[in-house]
Amino acid sequence: MGVVVRDWQSGDLAALHAINEGAVPGVGTLTPSALEVLVSRNSAATLVSCDAAGRPQGFVLVMCEGLDYASLNYKWLSERYQRFAYVDRIAVDEAARGQGIGEVLYGTVIERFTGERPVLLAEVNLEPPNPGSLRFHERLGFRAVGERWAADHGKGVVYLERQL
């Protein structure tokens, strides 16, 4: 059986939080309540991949322009793009990695937002480095469009775009 992707449901929240926290530092840590706000109020789509029993194995959270969202990455992108879909985070449970779930989630996002938005945006950590994610995004047709460094936090990201 292939990867099944569906829209998130409120009963998924605890599993999505556990998946998110298991993926730190590739994604930012969140409290359960902060994750609930993101998926229920800010996301244009939160898609969940499930195993055969329907248990979440991974998720992707997508936002569009016009939000009052404090993320420095979202702000950087909003200052440069008028219309977009932005992958705020994608995470796969450690036990399910290497099964193509991330690629299927991205494929679903691309399919859903093609024709609705001109571009799909994401960012990948440069510090701490995440070379696997960079290779993954390059394989999916993303290209670098800028960087942001926070010297006081020792962190850096590269911003990526893929035309839709």
Query: How does pLDDT run across 94-131, given as a tens digit for each residue?
Result: 999 999 999 999 999 999 999 999 999 999 999 888 89
Least confident of 13-17, 47-51, 75-79, 150-154: 150-154
Q: Is the pTM of this model over 0.85?
A: yes
pLDDT tens digit string along 46-63? 999 999 888 999 999 999
Residue type present at position 18: A
- 143-161 pLDDT per residue, tens: 999 999 987 677 899 999 9
Q: Where are the domains of the chain?
A: 4-119
pLDDT-derived band at 1, boundaries 50, 70, 90:
low
DSSP string for the chain: ---EEEE--GGGHHHHHHHHHHTTTTS----HHHHHHIIIII-SEEEEEE-TTS-EEEEEEEEESS-----HHHHHHHTT-SS-EEEEEEEE-GGGTTSSHHHHHHHHHHHHHBTTBSEEEEEEEEETT-HHHHHHHHHTT-EEEEEEEETTTTEEEEEEEEE-
Task: Please say if the pLDDT value at position 41 is more than 80.
Answer: yes
Instruction: State the pLDDT at residue 26.
Output: 82
Q: Which CATH architecture has domain 4-119?
A: 3-Layer(aba) Sandwich (3.40)
